[in-house]
Amino acid sequence: MSAYENPVADHRRKWDREEYERLAKERLSRENEEPDKDVPVRRELLKPRDYKVDLDSKLGKSVVITKTTPASQQGGYYCNVCDCVVKDSINFLDHINGKKHQRNLGMSMKIERSSLDQVKQRFEMNKKKKEEKKKEYDFEERMKEIKEEEEKAKAHKKEKRKERKRKADEDDDADGDPDMAALMGFSGFGSSKKTK
C-alpha cells in the first residue's frame, strides 16, 4: 500500500484547532484585563534648537581608529541620541533634522500653529531690533574706520613700491661690472636692459 492511498500516512502537519482556540481566548482575556501599553505617546511639538551644532571641531584633524575604538570617537559625526555615526556634515544635518532623530528626542514632526497675535508680536520684536541696530550705527565711528582702511591701503601700496624698487636694485647688483662680463663672454646673456 502506498502513502497516497493511506490517509494516516499523510505528510502534512495537523493542527489541533481546539488547543489554539483556547490559547487565543486566554490571550484576549489577558489583554482586556491589562491597561493598554500601546497607547500612543503624546509627543512635544517641534521646536527650534537651543544649541549650536558643532560641525567644525574635528575639521582637519587626524584620528587613529582601531577595532576597539568606541563609536563616539570614530571618524565622522556621532549622534549620541540615536547611537549612530554619520560620515559627513550634510548627512549629519539631515539626520538631526530627520524624523527618526526627532522621535528619539521625544518630538513629533508637527509644528505649533501660531496665532495672529503671536505673529504681530514677532514682527514688532524684529522691527525693534532693526531700530536698535540703526541707533548703534554711529557716523563718526564709520568715518574713522574708513580713514583707517585708506591709511592701511596706502601703507600697503607704499610697501609694494619699496619691494619692487629693492628687487630692481638687487637685479642691477647681480649683473655686476659690464666690462668684466664682456671679458668673460657674457655680454649677450645678461638682463634685457640696454647698456649705455
Q: Residue 83's closest CA among 93, 94, 70?
A: 70
What number is the average pLDDT over the span 9-36? 82
pLDDT digits (tens, 9 = 90+) for 14-24: 788 899 999 99
Instruction: List alpha helices for 35-138, DSSP H.
Output: 89-96, 99-104, 116-136
The C-alpha cell of 98 is what?
530627520
pLDDT digits (tens, 9 = 90+) for 34-84: 665 555 667 778 888 888 888 888 888 888 888 888 888 888 888 988 989
What number is the average pLDDT over the span 23-37? 80
Q: Residue 167 — very low, low, confident or very high, per pLDDT cuts 50/70/90? A: confident
State the Cα–Cα distance between residues 95 and 100, nearest whole angstrom: 8
Residue type, 33: E
State the Cα–Cα distance between residues 79 and 85, nearest whole angstrom: 6
Quick one: how far is CA 92 from the chain centroid?
6
State the Cα–Cα distance between residues 85 and 87, nearest whole angstrom: 7
CB atoms within 10 A of CB 92: 19
What number is the average pLDDT over the span 141-169? 89
DSSP element (H, E) containing 78: strand 77-79
* Percent of the chain topping pLDDT 90: 27
- Is the CB of residue 74 less than 8 Å from the CB of residue 66? no
- pLDDT score of 3: 47
Which is more confident, 89 or 183?
89
pTM (whole model) above 0.85:
no
